[in-house]
Amino acid sequence: MQRFLVGLHRASAHSNRIGKLSTAIGGCIQELFPCPDKVITALDVGCGDMTVAETISSDNPTIQWACTDIHELPPHLHGTEKWKKYRKFDGSKLPFDNASFDVVLFSDVLHHCLPASSDLLREAGRVARFVVVKDHFEKGLFSRATLRLLDFIGNYGYGVSVPECYFDELSFQASADAAGLRIMKMIDHLPIYPFPLSMVLPQTLQFLAVLERAAHENV
């Protein structure tokens, strides 16, 4: 069953999703640092196989990634060039000093961490001034069920749990407030679903937000 779901996910949506997400996220990060030569240090939290981070870097070579997730690295990957930038963490406390990075990314991660998402956001704001979040907005019970089905296809095969519910605009704002972060930019219509899914799934189920540590927050 798990192998079937991984195959279905890869064949249907995976590469389309990675390409569109990487372009949108890379663009948001570059906008934060208009000087074209600046090296931007970025941390991808919940990086999965790191494809999003690596695709962003291949289009934006000045963005340099460290990556972290909750999984132990399999022994055969230890010491390989690709996985040198990966570090496991416990899912709550990021193992990095204050202000170690320019930006932290959560790409389709925070809904797996509800209701503790504001704690992770606060951690992100501790290690970087800017936080980029790609996630989903549910718009009612039907969209919640749809998102859960898509999460099942996209994640269950990789051993990632399917959440009970998702953010809506109010709960995301509340999480950001509780984390001491200000939402600077919100793109609440992200055209990611490929045809024919795009005919039935509203692109408003996806959002991309840029947050900044609030001025009064000290790290």
Ligand X SMILES: C[S@@+](CC[C@H](N)C(=O)[O-])C[C@H]1O[C@@H](n2cnc3c(N)ncnc32)[C@H](O)[C@@H]1O
Distance CA 83, CA 201 (A): 35
Q: How far is the CB of 34 from ligand X (least distance, A)?
A: 26
Among 67, 109, 127, 132, binds ligand X (CB under 6 A): 109
For position 176 contacting ligand X by CB under 6 A, the verdict is no
Q: Which of 16, 91, 119, 190 binds ligand X (CB under 6 A)?
A: 91
- Which residue number, 40 or 132, has a Cβ lying nearer to ligand X? 132
Q: In this complex, which beta carbon is closest to ligand X, that of residue 89 or of residue 218?
A: 89
- Binding of residue 108 to ligand X (CB under 6 A): yes
Q: Nearest to residue 18, comparing CAs of 54, 46, 45, 44?
A: 54
The residue among 34 and 164 lying less far from ligand X, judged by its C-beta, is: 164
- Looking at residues 23 to 82 of the shown chain, list those that interact with ligand X (rule: CB under 6 A): 45-48, 52, 69-71
155 binds ligand X (CB under 6 A): yes
Both tokens of residue 212?
């900044």
**Is residue 160 a contact point for ligand X (CB under 6 A)?**
yes
135 interacts with ligand X by CB under 6 A:
no
- Is residue 112 a contact residue for ligand X (CB under 6 A)? yes
The CA distance from 120 to 58, in Å, is: 27
